[in-house]
Amino acid sequence: MMDYQNFFTSALDRLQAERRYRVFADIERLAGRYPQALWHSPEGPRPITVWCSNDYLGMGQNRDVTRAMVETAWRLGTGSGGTRNISGNSHPIVELEAELADLHGKEAALVFTSGYVSNQTGISTLARLIPNCLILSDALNHNSMIEGVRQSGCDKAVFRHNDLEHLEELLQAAGDRPKLIVFESVYSMDGDVAPIHAICDLAERYGAMTYIDEVHAVGMYGPRGGGIAEREGAMHRLDVIEGTMAKAFGVMGGYLTGTKAVMDAIRSFAPGFIFSTALPPAVAAAAMASIRHLKASSSERQQQQRQAARTKAVLSGAGLPVLDTPTHIVPVMVGDAEACKAACDRLLEKHGIYIQPINYPTVPRGTERLRITPGPFHSNAHIDALAAALVEVWTALRLPLEPKVQAAE
């Protein structure tokens, strides 16, 4: 008799042996007190400070956003009633898509249940609809984009990360066939930024369509939070802009923006859209409130950037191996899966600081790290406590420190 359970147990044992088994902390975020939270430890609830949330601006606790969600749920109920194909468009989703199209200067937008689904579904559908399409994909693209490329069934060519010469070589070799370039604006593990204008120059020169993932940039950059493309004045040059409401906007859901024809084609042909239950009206209303707020307010972005810069300076000043980035992402390099997990466990249990380890396959083996995301509500005292805790952990685990540099005030 086949022992099916043994297959799963063996797979988990292999994961444990590779130190890649993921353990999720039981945490309660506390609205109005973020980044403070409660950790339900084996010994009972303990207060902690969260340093790895993708709610980059703390909009998940913004009173306009929470009020919009609660009031809409009271009026319209909790669920959407099904797929949009069956239950129709809830009015808050119609308003949200108009708000997103306006944010990116596009004709139309299409909302999905997550940023993963919008990438996976959007890329695969677009490429399948283009005859003989070649997809040119950055080597460090997110798994959702890689899956979209794979599920398209189209030919692909992977260009070295942000390598314009390599991209041009591939474009030249492709000749006159239709081409789709897919890339990100902010790469979330290394915190670096794509050369958007230069990629658009190549796309125009070689007749390629462009698709950019701005999930780690929307809300964070640009005068109205439209992302790196808005900051660089490049939104009009990009054919499709993808984003999320689950990070800087503090809610959930993914989206695509572009021309009416492209959005309608995805709406009409994408299984991931057609057969997925729509976002609840209350979630759509909360996302719209957050987007509207961040279009008009830059204070959250400015404070976040100040605290991110201070965090980098203080950690570097303490001799910690901080990867230099031009964005809000602060990677502290460990380089070993077991040590990375041990560091995170010690930070949580001894110092009440919550940071998740980043291991393979999210990053290549040997580049394991802590990924720190300072927010506008992390105070200077929080930053100083983080630096002291990290130094204690690095010393206790005998991890290498670097020569100290003078921290800026």
Which amino acids are annotated catalytic?
247
Minimal CA–CA distance to 80: which of 65, 290, 72, 256? Answer: 72
Minimal CA–CA distance to 194: which of 225, 234, 253, 223? Answer: 234
Question: SS3 for 64?
Answer: helix
**Eight-class DSSP state of 139:** T
Q: Are 324 and 341 in contact (CB under 8 A)?
A: no
**Eight-class DSSP state of 105:** T
Instruction: Give, in order, the Cα–Cα distances in Å from 241 to each of 106, 134, 141.
Output: 9, 19, 15
| Residue with tokens 């809000």, as numbered in its chain | 328
Q: Checking DSSP bridges between strand 155-159 and strand 134-138, what pairing results, if any?
A: parallel
Q: Checking DSSP bridges between strand 240-244 and strand 254-258, what pairing results, if any?
A: antiparallel
Q: Are 258 and 94 in contact (CB under 8 A)?
A: no
List of residues 6+ apart from 122 with CB closer than 8 A: 148, 211, 240, 242, 256, 266, 270
**Eight-class DSSP state of 59:** G
The first and second tokens of residue 290, run together, are 């957050």
